[in-house]
Amino acid sequence: MKKIRFGTDGWRAVIAENYTFKNVGIVTQAVARWIVDEEVTENGVVIGYDARFLSERFAKHAAKMFAAMQIPVRIADRITPTPAISWAAKHFQAVGVVITASHNPPEYNGYKIKALYGGSAGPDQIAGIEFRLDLYDESLDTKSYDFLVKSGLIREMNFSEGYLSLIRQSIDLDSIRKSGIKIAHDPMYGSGRTILKQLLDDQVLEIHGEINPSFGGIAPEPMGKNVDELSGFVVQNDCSVGIANDGDADRIGMVDENGKFVNSHQLLSLLVKYLVDEKKMTGKIVKTVSTTTMLDKQADKYGLQLDVTPIGFKYIAEKIVAEDVLVGGEESGGLAVKGHLPERDGIYIGLLITEMMVKSGKSLSELVTDLFDEYGLHETHRNDIHTEDQKKIGMIEYCREKKLREIAGQKVVDWDMKDGIKHYLNDGSWLLVRQSGTEPVLRIYSEASSKEKAVALVEDTTAWVDRPEILE
């Protein structure tokens, strides 16, 4: 059996292969021991789960094990978005546990851990849990779930109500209602289903809101290639904007009124502009190594400090908790802003961008055009390569040894090895090669001054993966 390994956000594995009830128990006991040994909290855990295959049963299995180890348990009484569990962790000062594989393909499930501050557990906290993975007690006596609920040792709760109350306090929903704009929402068959409709009623038209653990045959990740149906739906139904969330609703992608995908790089830059220009807010910009350099230009313009972290929202969350951060985010759709949870929240960010549209009187396409007019065109591209481990390792080592010195006709002038290998090119573009922290894939990212250049950089580098030089 493969060893349990935590990646950029929790532990994920293929159901029935390595994601088993026993392994969920191993992780749960490690979390419980960490809570007790390090006196993390006396308030126990809050547990949530997504719409994946067996998620509810895995969550209840974890709940039984926590209760057997004398850890107080509050568990969601329904499929619940991850940000709502983050809210509950902060509200109850408890450790959050979410049974979800987020944006991973349907065959995966996972185990996310949230800290008391309402965001991803940090590297030191995860290390404390990993340290205790070998202490599993197979003889631990657990009672039936129904018995534990009846005896009050497990409490079932609706965490979404408190989370929705938080959003009502922080988003100008009245202005959105008065505008009368129509919003298309694609929860991608995930736990964000019905949430926007609960906030804005008939102004929200939802697709893919039914429970479907196969996610329609695609990974529930709000990327351009995965939102074709949403794009068409927006245009056909005369919607002003489309909001897509991943399987547990902490990530976001958006579609403008013309059906064009608006990625997280652009959304992050829009948020900086809105918060500084309109809300007169300040603070640090925090981004991961794979995120747009438009943020660098904005930091210079506004006189804001910019920090760059490895990929993984846990690194951003740590900074949000400890420092004055205005906006934090990553290429994969995980965004956070000052004044909300120190956590990715695809529901909140989608509504905040919608609020921006209403307040400015501009469409989403116009807002993006304004960005490009001010900072120049920034186009990005990404390819996820499923190939043999030997080739993935070989490509990483080839790049780490700085052997890839020219890409699509551009000379490499510098490198950054904070996370993977980022190549800076002589025309101002960049290319990043790294191993995914959540899936067995090699990811290749780029940014350039045109879509054609960004695609060429990725395609040229992708071709290297199959060359014999990388195995030498």
The CATH-assigned architecture of domain 166-251 is 3-Layer(aba) Sandwich (3.40)
pLDDT of residue 434: 95
Q: Which of 425, 427, 431, 398 is nearest to 412 (CA)?
A: 425
Q: How far apart are CA 251 and CA 344, in angstroms?
A: 6
Q: Which of 250, 244, 301 is nearest to 273 (CA)?
A: 301
The CATH-assigned architecture of domain 379-471 is 2-Layer Sandwich (3.30)
Q: Specify the 3-state DSSP secondary structure of 103.
A: coil
What is the mean pLDDT of each successive set of 10 residues along the chain, which is 472 residues long?
A: 80 96 98 98 98 98 98 98 98 98 95 95 93 95 96 97 97 97 98 97 97 94 94 98 97 97 96 97 96 97 97 90 96 93 96 98 98 96 90 93 96 96 97 84 95 97 90 74
Reported pTM: 0.93
CA distances from 190 to 9, 211, 249 (A): 18, 7, 7
CATH fold of 264-344: Alpha-D-Glucose-1,6-Bisphosphate; Chain A, domain 3 (3.40.120)
The CATH-assigned architecture of domain 6-162 is 3-Layer(aba) Sandwich (3.40)
Instruction: Convert 145-200 into a string of H (helix), E (strand) and C (coil).
Output: HHHHHHCCCEEEECHHHHHHHHHHHHCCHHHHHHHCCCEEEECCCCCCCCHHHHHH
Give yes or no for a contact between 465 and 441, defined as CB atoms under 8 angstroms apart.
no
What does 243-268 look like in DSSP terms, one character per residue? EEE-TTSS-EEEE-TTS-EE-HHHHH
Domain ranges in the chain are 6-162, 166-251, 264-344, 379-471
Q: How far apart are CA 155 and CA 213, in angstroms?
A: 26
Angle at 245 between CA 240 and CA 246, to 5 degrees: 155
| Encoded tokens for 330 | 């990553």
Strand pairing class (204-206; 442-448): unpaired
Domains 166-251 and 379-471 share a fold: no
Give yes or no for a contact between 258 and 251, defined as CB atoms under 8 angstroms apart.
no
Give yes or no for a contact between 50 and 212, defined as CB atoms under 8 angstroms apart.
no
CA distances from 26 to 31, 61, 69, 114, 415 (A): 9, 11, 13, 18, 39
Phi, psi angles (nearest 5°) of residue 273: -60, -45
